[in-house]
Amino acid sequence: MGVKVHICHTAPLDANCNKMQLKERGCVYHQCRDWSSLAGMHCISFCNGQFLNNLREIYKYARTTTFVNCMTWNFPKEIYGQSQNLIDFHLYQTQHAFERVSPKLKDVGKAYRPLMVKPYFHQEDFPFQTQRQRGIFQFGRISRGDADKFNKYQLKIYEEIKAPVTKKGLILGWDKRANKKLQRQPPKWIDALPECQISQQDFYEFCDVLIMTADTFENLPRIGFEAMSSGSVLIVDKRGGWKLQVEDGKTGYLCSHPDEFVYRATRLAYERNEKEDMRQAAKEKLTIEWGIQGSMDSWALIFEEWQKLR
């Protein structure tokens, strides 16, 4: 879009930050926490607690400040920053996230200016897996090790799935927190790996179907996009951002009860043609609804609002 992007980290660069290769993509790096170098710039931060901690100092120099809450609940310092008139704009990716976090923001401070962006997913990093195993039903789940990411019935669902072939599971993001919540280890035919043990791409190459239920209310799960791009069919909770990503019965399944998860997964274990149709339809939906042009159009409107202020 011809916009020059500057990066000012709120903490020293670590290995993950360096892997992003933002300089190679044309971004300009500033010294870590050099807030004065932001003078005259529109400053935006995505769910960053250190941004909120340093907001008063950042506000001295930035032309505008924008906070992106990617959760579905408020941060106390987000509310405080709004009450002190230090946040010019609040940016959201979904209507349901806006509805859940806006009530505590709109009545504090002088002006609450919500903006909406249409996300773009870069599919090239998650290639569509054209070949899938036929003699085995492979499924899995991926998340952080946070216990709230695991519903207490998750292992029971996997165990009750029926399949005409051998079933094999993979959990990426298992640690002592999930073990404590579920009170046991997965069965031997499910590999339970800690975060980052294998790459996300390797996970989706294995995962024919992503069967995932959690205790969280998701905003717009990135792993949903990754699965759609890779050709892993989604069987997920019927709430939050999953409802935007999955057309029930067409690009995957939305479930409200453990028994429904078992039934839908069993169906896909038997109906290979239906599973193939769903993953193709999900890939098409991803390309159409979360392509680059729609996202650029939404950013153009955001830039216009920024220019009007201060």
pLDDT surpassing 80 at residue 57: yes
Residues near 137 by Cβ (< 8 Å), separated by ≥ 6? 161, 163, 165, 166, 167, 168, 208, 209, 269
CA–CA separation, 184 vs 142, rounded Å? 18
State the pTM of this model: 0.92
Cα–Cα distance measured from residue 116 to residue 296, given in angstroms and rounded to the nearest whole number: 12
As assigned by CATH, the class of the 123-289 domain is alpha beta
- pLDDT tens figures, 155-183: 999 999 999 999 999 999 999 999 999 99
Q: How far is the C-alpha of 75 from the C-alpha of 62, rounded, in Å?
A: 22
Contacts 24+ apart (CB under 8 A), 296-300: 296/1, 296/120, 297/118, 298/116, 298/117, 298/118, 299/1, 299/117, 300/1
pLDDT for the residue 138: 97
How do the domains of the chain map onto residue ranges? 6-120+291-308, 123-289
- pLDDT at position 19 over 90: no
State the average pLDDT for the chain: 95
Paired tokens of 121: 């997913």
What pLDDT does residue 134 have? 81
Dump pLDDT digits (tens) for 264-275: 999 999 999 999
In angstroms, the CA 101 to CA 103 distance is: 6
pLDDT at 142 over 90: yes
Residue 252 has pLDDT above 80, yes or no: yes
pLDDT of res. 148 = 94
